[in-house]
Structure 1
Amino acid sequence: MYVFSFVRTYVLSLFLTFVRTFVRSIVRTYVRIYVRSYVLTYVRSFFHSFVHTYVPSFNRSW
């Protein structure tokens, strides 16, 4: 009985470790994708506003 409970706890801990690493990798991938899309959107909007603000006046000065 003791050996069985030991094996059961060992298997459960292994399973939990596996699930934890799996979930962590999935979450990391999703967070990376989300952050990349957010940063790209932010940079694109910033670039658009920058271009619309500075480029016409720059062209007019020529």
Structure 2
Amino acid sequence: MAALIITFIIFSVFILYHINRMTNLLCIQKEIPEERHEKIFRTVNILIVILLSTSYIEILYV
């Protein structure tokens, strides 16, 4: 059980890092103003955390 939790946390950090990296590249490529970056990152991060949380719950209880 503990191995599953540790593996999932490592996986989650890896996913969050790469999603943020891709979001940053998107903001640069599309020349989105700096004022909107914070809102974009917040939205993306919240949605990814929700996705990862529901994935964890599904793995845990199925």
More helix by share: 1
TM-score (normalizing by structure 2): 0.49
Q: Which has the larger radius of gyration?
A: 1
Higher relative contact order (CA 8 A, sep 6+): 2
TM-score (normalizing by structure 1): 0.49
